Amino acid sequence: MTSSASPRIALVLGGGALKGFAHIGALRALAERGVVPTLYAGSSIGALIAAAAAGGMDVETMAERALSLRRKDLFRINHLGMLMDRMQSRSIYMEAPLRALCDHVVPEGTFSELHTPLIVAAVDVERGTEVVWGTPGLRDVSVRDAVYASCALPGFFPPGLVDGRPCIDGGTTNNLPVNIASQSMDVVIAVDVGMADVPDATGIGSQGFASVYMRAATIMMHTMQSRSLERWHGPPMLLVRPRVSHIAWFAFQHTAQLIQLGYDAMRESLRDLDTVLSARGGIYPRRQLALRVDDAACVGCGQCVALAPHIMAMDARGKAFVTSPLLEWSPADGSFVRQCPTGAIHDEPRGASVTPRAERAASPG
């Protein structure tokens, strides 16, 4: 993948707080395979690691810095602001530690000065609009400022000024900025950490406002991201989802495990890279599976039909059924299954990956 005929590959790294350390393992697997991204893109911690990679930091240095990071290095409560300003305080935590982390990892200078193109998703909190720094017209700004802003989780850290615009966490609107990153690219490799699913969180309602807030943010970002991927019409995408949903957002003790999970997931997904490179569109890897409805558990609410009318329907008894029981799904498909309030819908894997047929090669699946 180093010849002049190499495909233009965008590597997009999603947000997910400390779960984003899995990106480091994913980068290690890509390096072993000889995959060199043409462009890096990211949101939140994905922006931080994408910026480090675009600036030339090697994977081993990233891993060392991640493994040495401790809670006190990032989270210092803004005691004075909380005491003096109370509800008017800009954030729970102080800005300086996150700024220092960005300064240690992210290259100095502007996006225009980077050797490898980088784009960073953030949100202009005053205008209420997404801003993708590093795109044409938005390159002559500090990379460090943009990355800080993209990591500034609302309420946790103060907004960051980027070219005079107060910006917050890119995950607020676009946790996996694949659409903007895919422009002029042949292939997209996207690494999703933390938004692939929303596991049960029994008792979350009694764990304090920060836990409830993060839970709400997870649900919101998962829903927005799922809908965006379901409507994918860009170049072929390899969607990599490390199995990190069981790890808490801010669990510093799991860094080594997260790096390994990212490595394992990317290495497994790269088995389908040749299929992706030969495709004209769609999201991969694709797998065959069987979908069924537990008739006894179905209450006939119609939620599945509303969310997936091309797959689900209601029979004369008011029970849901699957119109095409054998399906070929990518990791982006089937989010409606979990939305069943009684858990009546079940998917069961059926075999290996699927090579795209010509008649559906241009579809997003």
Q: How far is CA 51 from CA 22, 206, 346, in A?
A: 15, 37, 40
CB 9 within 8 A of CB 181: no
How many angstroms separate the CA atoms of 115 and 344, rounded? 51
44 is catalytic: yes
Task: Give the span between the Cα atoms of 130 and 170, in whole angstroms.
Answer: 7
Closest CA to 199 of 265, 249, 246, 258: 246
Instruction: Report the run of H or E that residue 152 belongs to, with start and end.
Output: none
Q: Is 315 a catalytic site residue?
A: no
Counted residue by residue, the chain has a size of 365
CA–CA separation, 111 and 139 (whole Å): 5
- Report in angstroms the alpha-carbon separations of 240 from 80, 168, 196, 282: 42, 26, 10, 14
Of 145, 169, 192, 272, which residue is the catalytic one?
A: 169
**Helical (H) or strand (E) element with 119:** strand 118-124
Task: Name the active-site residue from 43, 44, 91, 182.
Answer: 44
Check: CB of residue 130 under 8 Å from CB of residue 21: no
Contacts of 116 (CB under 8 A, 6+ apart): 37, 38, 39, 40, 53, 54
Residues serving a catalytic function are: 44, 169
